[in-house]
């Protein structure tokens, strides 16, 4: 940002000094941002104000009450996408009146004169309530007067420069509002790296003359990622047309993002308000580039009915055909939503970048929703790379984060390959912490990491921070390893207590008591290792107690209670003669997809438990990406002699300190 932009930002920031005491720091933006938008729109309209008023009067004379369509048609040839048909302006409002109540009334009238596109922004800023609050605090005249003084005309500040100015204000207000900044604002250097990793591999394509690029952020917050993507593209190709699209469910963040596009002269209607899961406002569109930083680990319970209905009724024709993650983390729903909106390869293809925490890498066992989504992505060869970032990068969380980068237009050299780039140590410490943000990635590291990543795509460079895998390398078979059920039979006090508490027997307490009375004399006898022998003993005990016609369900519960797993016990089989498994000894193993499960069993299991086998009916396929495991480096323990010497040295220091205390 130039010194002029800094001066303007500083001037607008100085308005915050007026708010001190009446507003919390985290609330300054609620006043400064909408007033900045108001003043910018006013300055843009100023050269055409008289013509707009004249056209309004002409339409009024014709008796036209709803003039929006006609006035928009009138201003479009002037390069405008909005208008204000009020005679008022900030200068006029504060120049002829000091009464707070009158100023508030005139401001509301002035805001009401805007066309729907602009009026919608002020509505979602909740600007009317801010006007009332400023009036009540006796600050409205001073604040409005400040903004009336600043020149934000296009001749003084271009659309591009205005975008930078607005971004600077958003950044400043977000940084002093640490409790919510991470929800709606991504640190600038994180966006910078993300955009470079997303767009740099397409650098040659970006230079194509007269190209139109469409960019979507389905969780756009205040719009910083969209702005950064546009800047990258236009820096490489000033003649390119970049169309930005976004969706945001937080009304204030939506207002900021929408006003940012409007004050830069772009299509504000491309920024939509709503929940991307339940109300896809860009349903019919596909995009060249998609990027997002959705909230980490946020549940999707409120959208459950709509999401599950789309999954079940539309399958892969909808957005969520691959699977549904657990209800407490909708991260992978965002990724499926973005994949759905990628341009197809026939349309030129698309690239995606998204910020995740570690959970989507591995959460969910084989054939769970998360695993099936990973499988779908990897088996379609869409995953291009994952970049592990330093921790403590974000304002409201210190956890580790990752970029996932996807492409459906991989170069031949990279097809069937997935890059893992470890950037966890590429950081510097901040001079002053901002919430949980204590680290940042400097520009030189961003440039270096971008180069390493792009080179890895073409296999041009080998770097210790990079590992390359095939998509299948992340797949595995979850096998169920069974061992035979061997039992001994005995009546113990534990078995009797289990039967007494059994729900099946509790349905007929009289029968239960008779069964227990028949079995109690058997307690304490030596175990029996033959089911047939113990069956004879049971029948004799029942006969002695006068019990006949015992239901099969009760008999089953008795056998469950008296049978005890024992490696020396009798091998148990079903009626077909098949060996029964011991569920207490059941185990599970994850076997890489490219390895034969029986060869794995023979090598890894049978040497330890030679009677084990695989129940192939229970085998499942899963996918996970154990990033940290692939970059783990073993550190040998320190020699005992070194540890002993250090302990003795510490003991000596402690003794000296104790001696000083007692003197």
Task: For 288-314, give the secondary structure using H, E and C.
Answer: CEEEECCCCCCCCHHHHHHHHHHHHHH
Structure tokens at 631: 């970059």
Distance CA 536, CA 523 (A): 16
Using an 8 Å Cβ cutoff, are 581 and 483 in contact? Answer: yes
Element (H, E) at 171: helix 159-175
> Does residue 646 register a pLDDT over 50?
yes
Specify the pLDDT at position 175: 66
**CATH label, 188-469, candidates 3.40.50.261, 3.40.50.150, 3.40.50.720, 3.40.50.300:** 3.40.50.150
Distances (CA, A) of 240 to 214, 216, 236: 11, 17, 9
- Give the residue-averaged pLDDT of 369-397: 95
Burial 306-326 (b: 16+ CB within 10 A, else e): bbeebbeeeeeebbbbbbbbe
**pLDDT over 90 (residue 295):** no
pLDDT for 183:
47
| Cβ atoms of residues 268 and 121 within 8 Å | yes
> CA-to-CA distance for 71 and 42, rounded, in angstroms?
16
CA-angle at 287, arms to 284 and 293, nearest 5°: 105
Q: What is the DSSP annotation of 544-610?
A: HTT-----HHHHHHHHHHHEEE-TTSEEPB-TTSPBPB-GGG-EEEEEETTS-HHHHIIIIITTT-T
pLDDT attached to residue 581: 97
pLDDT in tens, 434-461: 778 899 999 999 999 999 999 999 876 6
Q: 486-489 and 620-623 as β-strands: parallel, antiparallel, unpaired? A: unpaired
Q: 396 pLDDT band (50/70/90 cuts)?
A: confident
pLDDT reported for residue 182: 42
Task: Return the structure tokens found at 380.
Answer: 């379609």
Backbone angles phi, psi at 464, to 5 degrees: -65, -20
Query: What is the predicted pLDDT for the residue at 460?
Result: 61
Distance CA 228, CA 9 (A): 19
Supply the mean pLDDT for the chain.
Answer: 91
Q: In Å, what is the CA distance from 325 to each residue of 234, 303, 486?
A: 37, 13, 39
Residue 185 has pLDDT above 70, yes or no: no
% of the chain exceeding 70 in pLDDT = 97
Q: Which of 6-10, 82-86, 653-657 has the highest mean pLDDT?
A: 82-86
pLDDT digits (tens, 9 = 90+) for 632-645: 877 788 888 888 88
pLDDT at residue 75 tops 50: yes
- The pLDDT-based confidence of 58 (bands split at 50, 70, 90) is very high
Phi first, then psi, for residue 480 (nearest 5°) are: -100, 115
Query: Region 131-135: what's the mean pLDDT?
Result: 96
Radius of gyration of the chain (CA): 35
With a CB cutoff of 8 Å and minimum separation 6, the contacts of 511 are: 505, 550, 554
Tell me the average pLDDT across 465-483.
97
Which residues, in sequence order, are bridge partners of residue 486? 571
* Local confidence band at 234 (pLDDT 50, 70, 90 cut-offs): very high
Q: In terms of pLDDT, which residue wins out, 259 or 140?
A: 140
Of residues 584, 587, 589, the one with CA closest to residue 572: 584
Report the DSSP pairing between strands 212-217 and 241-248.
parallel
Tens-place pLDDT, residues 507-535? 888 999 999 999 999 999 999 999 999 99
Work out the number of other CB atoms within 10 angstroms of the CB of residue 403: 23
Q: Smallest Cα–Cα separation from 121: which of 258, 8, 247, 227?
A: 258
**251-255, 321-325, 496-500: range with lowest mean pLDDT:** 251-255
141: helix, strand or coil = helix
pLDDT at 181: 40
């Amino acid at each position: 940002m130039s010194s002029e932009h800094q001066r303007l930002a500083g001037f607008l920031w100085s308005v915050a000094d007026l708010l001190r005491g009446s507003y919390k720091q985290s609330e300054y933006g609620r006043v400064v941002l909408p007033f900045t938008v108001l003043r910018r729109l006013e300055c843009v309209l100023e050269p055409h104000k008289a013509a707009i008023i004249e056209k309004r009067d002409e339409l009024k004379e014709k008796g036209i009450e709803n003039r929006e369509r006609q006035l928009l048609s009138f201003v479009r040839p002037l390069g405008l996408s909005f208008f204000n048909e009020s005679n008022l302006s900030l200068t006029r409002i504060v120049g002829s009146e000091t009464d707070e109540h009158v100023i508030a009334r005139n401001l509301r009238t002035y805001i009401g004169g805007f066309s729907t596109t602009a009026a919608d922004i002020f509505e979602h800023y909740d600007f009317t309530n801010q006007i009332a609050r400023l009036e009540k605090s006796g600050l409205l005249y001073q604040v409005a007067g400040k903004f009336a003084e600043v020149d934000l005309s296009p001749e003084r500040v271009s659309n591009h420069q205005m975008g930078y100015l607005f971004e600077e204000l958003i950044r400043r207000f977000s940084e002093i509002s640490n409790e919510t900044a991470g929800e709606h604002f991504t640190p600038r250097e994180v966006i910078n790296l993300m955009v470079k990793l997303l767009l740099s591999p397409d650098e040659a394509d970006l230079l194509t003359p007269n190209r139109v690029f469409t960019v979507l952020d389905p969780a756009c917050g205040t719009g910083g990622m969209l702005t950064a993507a546009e800047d990258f593209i236009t820096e490489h190709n000033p003649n390119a047309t970049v169309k930005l699209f976004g969706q945001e469910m937080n009304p204030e963040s939506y207002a900021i993002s929408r006003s940012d596009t409007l004050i830069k002269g772009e299509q504000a209607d491309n920024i939509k308000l709503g929940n991307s899961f339940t109300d896809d406002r860009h349903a019919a569109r596909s995009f060249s580039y998609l990027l997002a930083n959705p909230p980490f680990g946020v549940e999707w319970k409120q959208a459950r009915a709509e999401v599950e209905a789309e999954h079940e009724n539309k399958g892969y024709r909808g957005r969520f055909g691959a699977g549904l993650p657990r209800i407490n983390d909708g991260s992978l729903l965002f990724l499926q939503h973005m994949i759905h909106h990628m341009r197809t390869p026939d349309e030129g293809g698309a690239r995606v970048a998204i910020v995740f925490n570690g959970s989507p890498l591995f959460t969910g066992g084989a054939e769970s929703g998360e695993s099936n989504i990973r499988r779908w992505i990897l088996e379609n060869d869409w995953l291009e790379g994952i970049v592990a970032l330093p921790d403590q990068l974000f304002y409201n969380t210190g956890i580790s984060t990752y970029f996932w980068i996807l492409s459906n237009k991989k170069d031949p050299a990279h097809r069937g390959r997935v890059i893992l780039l470890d950037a966890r140590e590429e950081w510097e410490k901040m001079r002053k912490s901002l919430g949980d943000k204590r680290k940042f990635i400097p520009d030189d590291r961003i440039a270096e990491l971008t180069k390493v990543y792009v080179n890895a795509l073409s296999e041009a460079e080998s770097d210790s921070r990079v590992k390359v895998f095939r998509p299948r390398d992340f797949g595995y078979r979850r096998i169920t390893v069974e061992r035979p059920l061997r039992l001994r039979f005995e009546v113990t006090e534990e078995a009797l207590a289990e039967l007494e508490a059994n729900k099946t027997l509790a349905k007929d307490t009289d029968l239960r008591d008779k069964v227990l009375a028949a079995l109690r004399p058997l307690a304490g006898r030596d175990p029996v290792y033959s089911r047939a022998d113990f069956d004879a003993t049971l029948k004799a005990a029942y006969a002695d107690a006068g019990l006949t016609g015992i239901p099969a369900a009760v008999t089953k519960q008795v056998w469950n209670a008296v049978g005890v797993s024992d490696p020396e016990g009798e091998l148990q089989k079903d009626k077909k003669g098949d060996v029964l498994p011991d569920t207490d000894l059941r185990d599970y193993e994850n076997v890489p997809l490219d390895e034969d499960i029986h060869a794995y069993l023979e090598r890894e299991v049978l040497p330890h438990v030679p009677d084990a086998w695989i129940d192939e009916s229970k085998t499942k396929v899963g996918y996970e990406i154990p990033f940290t495991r692939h970059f783990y480096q073993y550190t040998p323990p320190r020699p005992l002699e070194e540890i002993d010497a250090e302990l003795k040295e510490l003991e000596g220091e402690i003794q000296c300190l104790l001696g000083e205390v007692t003197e």
